Amino acid sequence: MIFNSLDFAIFLPIVFVLYWFVVNKHLQFQNLVVVAASYVFYGWWDWRFLSLIIFSTIVDYFVGIGMGKSELPARRKLLLWISITVNLGLLGFFKYYNFFLDNFISAFSFFGTTVQANTLNIILPVGISFYTFQTLSYSIDIYRRKLEPTKDFMAFSAFVCFFPQLVAGPIERATNLLPQFGKPRVFEHDKAVDGLRQILWGLFKKIVIADTCATYANTIFNGSELFSGSTLVLGALFFTFQIYCDFSGYSDIAIGTSRLFGFHLNRNFAFPYFSRDIAEFWRRWHISLSTWFRDYLYIPLGGSRGGTWMKVRNTFAIFLVSGFWHGANWTFIAWGALNAIYFLPLLLLGNNRKNLDMVAQDSWLPSPKEVLQMGSTFALTMLAWIFFRAENMTHALAYLGEIFSSSLLTYPEVFPKKMLLLLLAFLLVEWAGRKHEYAIENIKTSFHTYPRWVAYGLLLATIFYYAGQEQQFIYFQF
């Protein structure tokens, strides 16, 4: 089941009514409704993979209980490794088995040895990378004594499988989300309305911007050998907006839906395309994953505390693993490596935490320097996205090669003016709302009742106008 589907439009009100009007006086029953709804939501795609979520839930629940009862360092470490092995083992098998097997065979072929091995027809379970990291953080935090294990199995199950963020995040920490399942929830009208508003904006970003950009991006990337460098630049531009609006749109819908049920999820995007350097971009893009790698990989490796070699090593480690997390393809690893190269000069010169506030914090317009900084950061990011979108390394390098050729100066074969104007209008709305959690959050205070409802109506009308065939969210494949 996907957010931009008729199924979800029917599913959500049913769950809402059960949650607030049938079992609202019983916390355990509310949590049971959340678990049942989450299993239906996930099983709608393929019910067979519910067993993986249930298995991970059981393992990490009892690992947590075991670590909570033991003071023996060896026993606690053994339990932690059970959690790590089970979760990463499942993730590794379903996501990376064929990748490693293919590269193993290729490595032997390079030296003239033929190895016979058959790949498996493995279906990648939707969201496995997300809920695996979520449950892992629970076990690691208990091991570090930053969190007490819960004895409430229903609450823990709800934390693992909470349907708004189950398949594409945000990746929640147990320290934030799990305690919310242990406290009575009271319906708050203002939070629910704010949740609906954020859902509306998320649907607009997904259906109007991302899916429309996808049409042009797919045409250009899939036939890149037929187009000039100028057209390929537009293809990269359309994919740059597609992936942002697709993924941040999902996060907006997830966070807004959670508010309808009285839950607070952490922010996952903070207007990353207004960043003035790559370090700022990574503080604003996919925040839940970036901070996960920071806390559970980068800092344990030593972070930025060591010498130059350690800083370089740790930077490449976090970006390469981040790239590999996204998919079993060398293009993702190249994407991660390129971002590490972008990031390193800032880190080594001590400028990686220079831009911590929002651009043009005290003014409407950015300074010329900020315009140059945002433009260069956006251009570097757009070039990196080419590796992310390309089918393989050969495709990515050929795509870049044509961009940096004389055909870059020709008139594009594909030049959708209406789409470019729509992107410009979208950017202006995002710029106006950049100091808020999401772009139209302040519409309630900035507009009187009538103009506000006119704005909502225009957004809805635009969504219905652009709505067509349901397109899955990009990050479902990760």
Residues 435, 420: Cα–Cα separation, whole Å: 24
CA angle 185, 203, 232 (to 5 degrees): 140
Rounded Cα–Cα distance for residues 347 and 311 (Å): 8
Query: What whole-number distance in Å separates Cα of residue 65 and Cα of residue 56?
Result: 14
**Residues 304, 348: Cα–Cα separation, whole Å:** 9
Measured distance CA(429)–CA(262) in Å, rounded? 28
Dist. CA 400–CA 335, nearest whole Å: 13
Task: Return the C-alpha torsion angle 347, 351, 356, 358, nearest 10.
Answer: -110
Long-range contacts of 411-415 (CB under 8 A, 24+ apart): 411/230, 412/227, 412/228, 412/230, 412/231, 412/233, 412/234, 413/226, 413/227, 413/228, 413/231, 414/216, 414/219, 414/220, 414/227, 414/231, 414/234, 414/235, 415/231, 415/234
Q: Are 122 and 98 in contact (CB under 8 A)?
A: yes
Length of the chain, in residues: 478
Distances, alpha carbon 306 to alpha carbons 30, 118, 336, in Å: 48, 44, 22
326 is catalytic: yes
Q: Which of 264, 326, 395, 448 is catalytic?
A: 326
* CA quadruple 381, 129, 196, 421: dihedral, nearest 10: 20
Angle between helices 417-432 and 229-260 (to 10 degrees): 40
Catalytic residues: 326
